[in-house]
A and B are shown apart, each in its own frame.
Chain A
Amino acid sequence: MLAGVAVEALHNVNQTRYSPRAMQPQPSLTDLISDVANRRDREAFALLFDHFAPRLKSYFFKLGVSDQAAEDFVQEVMLTVWRKAELFDSAQAGVSTWIFTIARNKRIDAIRRERRPEIDPEDPAIKGDEDPAPDDVVHASQMGDRVRSAVAELPAAQAELVRMSYFEDKSHTVIAEELGLPLGTVKSRIRLAVQRLRGLVGETI
């Protein structure tokens, strides 16, 4: 992962802290983000790009955009990562989760041309105190393989609905229409999928 595009593009960068030859443990994604946040570290940023850009391109591809548009969106998502790195809070979410939400918002804004209504966690008027236990959320995002195999173990019809909702920009009502299924059937399949994911990987989903 360290070879190739990222290292090539870094010929101007003098530091080689992340060189594959160095006998250091591979930096975690969280380390890379905090190096970008604290030091505007381009080498760390290039490694993040190497890791995420091909997956982000895949994400935008699935939404039906052209190759060029997908690359442009990837650039914009990674630019947001650069600009907002200091807002990343590893106590609140994993790096993949944070970047997923940036890509999701880009898709809503640029492809669907809608506003994304969100809460402001700093809003003093916000009510209720059962916010996620940070460990749970971070843990959830770090147990990627387990989550993916849990999704793979879902009955095909349920896994398909999860995939359509996350990657094809289709809400459950649209899915029901497209598949010609009663809305109630789609609703109960999604509920079963969410319950089952909880059952398979514990309360952290």
Chain B
Amino acid sequence: MMTGTMEHTARTPQHHPDSEFLMDYAGGALREPLAVLIATHLSFCGRCRAEVARLEALGGSLMEGLPRERMSAGSLGRLLRRLDREGEEERPMVMDRGDPAVPYPLRPYLARLGSARGGGWANLPWKKRLKDVGEITLLDSFPGFQTRLMRIAGGSAVPAHTHGGMELTLVLEGGFSDSTGQYLPGDVAYADDALSHQPVADEGHDCICLAVTDAPLKLTGPIARLFNPFIRS
């Protein structure tokens, strides 16, 4: 815990996502917008990486305990024949696209924006929302979710707001403070209906955040299922 000397050394995040988010991420139930935020936090936070590994081990144990469903006759034989068609050649590793200055889980999403490689946050196509606030929508095909990068000029405030649903905010660069504390890179802030907050970016440096709000539309789940051919009706 060396929070005093964080200038250029890796700082351990002090604000973590609650364990229900880590469990949903480990178990696979977390929807993609929130999973992006959690995975990005994990690239800052060894403690939560360890917790996710333990929760995945819980998943492995629970799977071992599932009742055994009979496989159809010949399924192993079919699979073994498929292996015959597998080439012995090495599969090429998927090349990592995107900006190495950006945490790994975010790279494919930023690459989609067509941003210049290696330019860091500054070169992204920011849209001005307020005088001191820029934003970029990252995933727009998830009804009920809003997934945005926010850039708040150093020393500026985001107008006070409440949330229809809940909001997770992960600091990527710089920092901000609100009534619940100070948040620095890797920290996750949680806010919901009960909280009206006014984040203020720390002086001297733009604050870059990933903010995901989740205000599920009641119909999202069932309709998504209706159109999904794999779901049994």
Which residues from chain A sit less than 8 Å from chain B, CB to CB?
5-6, 9, 42, 45-46, 49-50, 53-59, 61-62, 64-67, 69-71, 74-75, 78-79, 82-83, 92-101, 103-105, 107-108, 110-111, 113-120, 123, 125-133, 136-137, 140-141, 143-144, 147-148, 151, 162-174, 177, 183, 186-187, 190-191, 194, 197, 204-205
Kindly state whether residue B23 has any CB partner on chain A within 8 Å: yes
Partner of A128, one of B46, B58, B64, B216: B46
Instruction: Mark interface residues in B16-38 (1 if CB within 8 Å of A CB, else 0).
Output: 00111101100111111011101
Chain A residues near B24 (CB-CB < 8 A): 165, 171-172
A128-B56 in contact (CB<8A): no
B contacts with A, residue count (CB < 8 A) = 80
> Separation in Å of the A66 CB from the closest CB of chain B?
5
B61-A148 in contact (CB<8A): yes
Residue contacts A-B, CB under 8 angstroms, 29 given: A5-B71, A45-B80, A46-B76, A54-B70, A59-B66, A66-B230, A71-B71, A93-B57, A94-B57, A104-B59, A110-B230, A114-B35, A116-B32, A117-B36, A118-B39, A119-B43, A119-B49, A125-B104, A126-B104, A128-B47, A131-B53, A137-B53, A141-B60, A166-B29, A187-B18, A190-B20, A191-B18, A194-B23, A205-B58
> Separation in Å of the B71 CB from the closest CB of chain A?
5
Q: In the bound complex, what is the Cα–Cα distance between A78 and B69 (angstroms)?
A: 15
Contacts known (A97-B57, A123-B104, A128-B46); A166 close to B71, Cβ less than 8 A? no
A55-B66 in contact (CB<8A): yes
Q: In the bound complex, what is the Cα–Cα distance between A140 and B45 (angstroms)?
A: 21
Kindly state whether residue B118 has any CB partner on chain A within 8 Å: no
B218-A120 in contact (CB<8A): no
A191-B57 in contact (CB<8A): no
Q: In the bound complex, what is the Cα–Cα distance between A177 and B40 (angstroms)?
A: 27
Instruction: Mark interface residues in B46-89 (1 if CB within 8 Å of A CB, else 0).
Output: 11011001111111111111111111110111111011001000
Chain A residues near B214 (CB-CB < 8 A): 173
Nearest neighbor of B62 in chain A, beta-carbon distance = A166
Contacts known (A75-B78, A165-B27); A114 close to B32, Cβ less than 8 A? yes
Chain B residues near A132 (CB-CB < 8 A): 49-50, 53-54
Chain A residues near B18 (CB-CB < 8 A): 187, 191
New A-B contacts (4) at CB < 8 Å, excluding given A83-B86, A104-B28: A74-B75, A120-B96, A141-B57, A194-B55
Q: In the bound complex, what is the Cα–Cα distance between A191 and B18 (angstroms)?
A: 8
A99-B232 in contact (CB<8A): no
Q: In the bound complex, what is the Cα–Cα distance between A129 and B45 (angstroms)?
A: 8
> Separation in Å of the A113 CB from the closest CB of chain B?
7
